[in-house]
Structure 1
Amino acid sequence: MQFTYFWISLGVILLLLDLWVINSVWRSDNSSGNKAGWTALVVLLPYLGLAIWSIAGPRGVTKGPSSPEHSKG
């Protein structure tokens, strides 16, 4: 019985990670083609897609402060 809960939990975690990755991809500044490619990879090959995205996927904000006022610490 506990073995079944393990697999269900693993499936739910995978689903949540997939949704998080897809949301992150679609909110990025990449072109629509890149977004569609990443989405297809993550949906069709969930484990492999997540692994590849974690290595080569979009990173956080790459732009610096928008004005000198914001860069003051």
Structure 2
Amino acid sequence: MGVEVSGLLGLIWLIILVWAIVKVAKSPAGPVAKLLWILILLFFPLVGLIIWLLLGPKG
């Protein structure tokens, strides 16, 4: 049961991360800002997502 639960949580986490990257890519921010956000999200997934939710583009 542990493998199925962790696999499901990992899939949910991956979906959230991909959603955040797509939102960054579609944002009106400049290309450098987009690249930095995407790199932060890729290299620091948990911390990057929290920072993006707090400081990222609103609306």
Q: TM-score, normalised by structure 1?
A: 0.76
Consecutive unaligned residues of structure 2, counting only runs of 5 or more, are: none
- Secondary structure of 1:35 counterpart: helix
Q: Which residues of 2 match residues 19-58 of structure 1 at below 5 A?
A: 19-58=18-57
Q: TM-score, normalised by structure 2?
A: 0.93
Aligned-partner residue type, residue 48 of structure 2: G
In structure 1, C-alpha distance between the alignment counterparts of 2:28 and 2:36, rounded to whole Å: 14
What percentage of residue pairs aligned between the two structures are identical?
A: 31
Residue in 2 that maps onto 1:69: none
In structure 2, C-alpha distance between the alignment counterparts of 1:48 and 1:9, rounded to whole Å: 20
Q: Which structure has the larger Rg over C-alpha atoms?
A: 1
In structure 2, C-alpha distance between the alignment counterparts of 1:58 and 1:9, rounded to whole Å: 29
Consecutive unaligned residues of structure 1, counting only runs of 5 or more, are: 61-73
In structure 2, C-alpha distance between the alignment counterparts of 1:21 and 1:43, rounded to whole Å: 10
Structure 1 residue 44, shift from structure 2 partner = 0.8
In structure 2, C-alpha distance between the alignment counterparts of 1:4 and 1:56, rounded to whole Å: 34
Aligned-residue CA RMSD (Å): 0.7
